[in-house]
Structure 1
Amino acid sequence: MPTIFVINLERSPERLANSQRQLAAHGLSFECIDAIDGATLTPAQREINYSPSLNKQKYHYPLSAGQIGCYLSHRKAWQTIVDRQLDYAIVLEDDFILKNDLTHTIKNIEQAPIGWQMIKLSAYQNRSRSIAFQVPLQHKQHLVIHKKLMTGCCATAISFGGAKQLLAATEKFGRPVDCDLQHIWETKVAGYSLMPYPFAQNCEQVSDIKARSAASVKKSFFARKNQQLTSAINNHFATAAFIKKTKRTFHTPKSKKGAAAPFYS
């Protein structure tokens, strides 16, 4: 069975108990990653990894303490994968809903016909997005490449190679973690989605590890639109390259399967 991490704030034991109940009902154990509470960090501690200058350059409002803590908590999970040299782990936030048994999902993750670094196992607020390419798997599941990687980090499979690369790419960050993961041309970690998703996000229970400040300072309209246009262009070419690489790997009989392969070869 895979290692499953649940990111949870110490002050939210009821969320951890709910996570335990859901996973135990399917015979699954997990390890808790103690979330980093951004509100308890000093400005100097927050800025060890969070860069206000990168934030001004790349995002349209300053990140809240909760968003910074959320990012640092995911980095903590990635670091644990690397430190323990795990082939991969499933990283969950504590607002997940386990929709069905994970037996087929785990088998498809571990026996995927192509290498992977990151696989989304849920969508942000259960939204949908246009699909650009998909690879059929067993039991009516598919590895999907969306036209733009789905936002949200409620449930994600991260490989050793993916975790190592993400840590290197996000040593300094200025966006929310799920937004940075969409910028695959920067992180060099491309992501699939496994659909139908085995997890959903509990939209009635907003994760308290990533609370956004209501007092967000907005960028000017033109600066934000320019930022979005640049991102859209970069995403178009990066996604096309990812699809091309996936097709090439999928049709190479002796290519490495299941384990993570680098995005750019």
Structure 2
Amino acid sequence: MTGHAFILHLTRASARRENAHRLRDSCGLPAEIWPAVDGAAMDDRELRARVDAGLFAPRYPFPLRMGEIGCFLSHRQIWAEILRRDLDHALILEDDAGLDPEHFAQALTLGRDHLDRFGYIQFQTRPARGPARLIATQGACQLLLPQMAGLRTTAQLVTRASAEQLLAASDRFDRPVDTFVQSHWQTGLRPAMILPSGISEIADQLEGSTIQSARKPVLEKLRREWLRGRYRRAVRHASASSAAPDASHD
């Protein structure tokens, strides 16, 4: 299998540069650092060309922040690069990922062994919300197919076919990339996940998130929490009734 790794790194995020190089050198595949799209540098015309609202149900309840738009476009660039290079698959890592080489090597072997079957495998940092079917194990690592796919795009394996499928479905988008990938009732692609994966989130040890918003008043925070809870319930329902193919029964 022809595989390659891309380390997404925002050039101005200098505090993350050393970690990006560390990921490149320790991820277990031929790798390069890929310059992420800087959402803050985009103009209104570029935004209108990509971002829409209410594209599919459940409707995403928040306007996209500039960093979220840049993050989505960065992943789309890599999906397109997978096709351009005719790679069998790619490992995509974000520059705030922590990587334990020993445990990640087990997770990577497990993921690559089953990647053709699932197409998109997340190296998760959090347990699944709700039911998840155990598919296989490698050492302490478990490959699971959750009913409600996980969030986070910290690290994932993506096949060429899945990159093509996701790229075609996201010419315009209305939600963050991890929330889009979670929406298998819309994309037709059910992400599997590995946990523990040897991947952790270390943004707080670097410079914090590059997708930040201003501090909000208490009432606004409460309103957002209510909207987020309602959205999650709708996602849970859509996940349970999804018609996306279930590779665990192949």
Could you state the TM-score of these two structures normalised by the residue count of structure 2? Answer: 0.83
Residue number in structure 1 paired with 2:5? 4
User: How many pairs were matched up?
Assistant: 243
2:132 alignment partner AA: A
> What CA RMSD, in Å, does the superposition of the two structures yield over aligned residues?
3.1
Mapped to 2, the partners of 1:19 and 1:221 lie a distance apart of: 33
1:236 lines up with 2:240 in the alignment: yes
Mapped to 2, the partners of 1:11 and 1:207 lie a distance apart of: 13
**Partner-residue secondary structure (3-state), 1:175:** coil
The within-5 A match list for 1:136-155 is 136-155=136-155
The within-5 A match list for 1:213-224 is 214=215
Counterpart contact for 2:38–2:67, Cα < 8 Å? yes
Match of 1:106 among 85, 105, 108: 108
Identify if the C-alpha distance between structure 1 residues 232 and 40 changes in structure 2 by more than 3 Å, giving closer, same or farther: same
**Partner-residue secondary structure (3-state), 2:92:** strand
The within-5 A match list for 1:183-202 is 183-202=183-202
Displacement over 6 Å in runs of 4+: 215-226
Counterpart contact for 2:4–2:29, Cα < 8 Å? no
Identify if the C-alpha distance between structure 1 residues 225 and 127 changes in structure 2 by more than 3 Å, giving closer, same or farther: closer
Deviation at 1:57, TM superposition (A): 7.8
**Partner-residue secondary structure (3-state), 2:117:** coil
Mapped to 1, the partners of 2:13 and 2:226 lie a distance apart of: 40
Mapped to 1, the partners of 2:101 and 2:13 lie a distance apart of: 25
Could you state the TM-score of these two structures normalised by the residue count of structure 1? Answer: 0.79
Structure 2 gap ranges (5+)? none
The within-5 A match list for 1:20-31 is 20-25=21-26, 29-31=30-32
Mapped to 2, the partners of 1:130 and 1:225 lie a distance apart of: 15
Identify if the C-alpha distance between structure 1 residues 127 and 115 changes in structure 2 by more than 3 Å, giving closer, same or farther: closer
1:119 lines up with 2:124 in the alignment: no
**Partner-residue secondary structure (3-state), 1:59:** coil
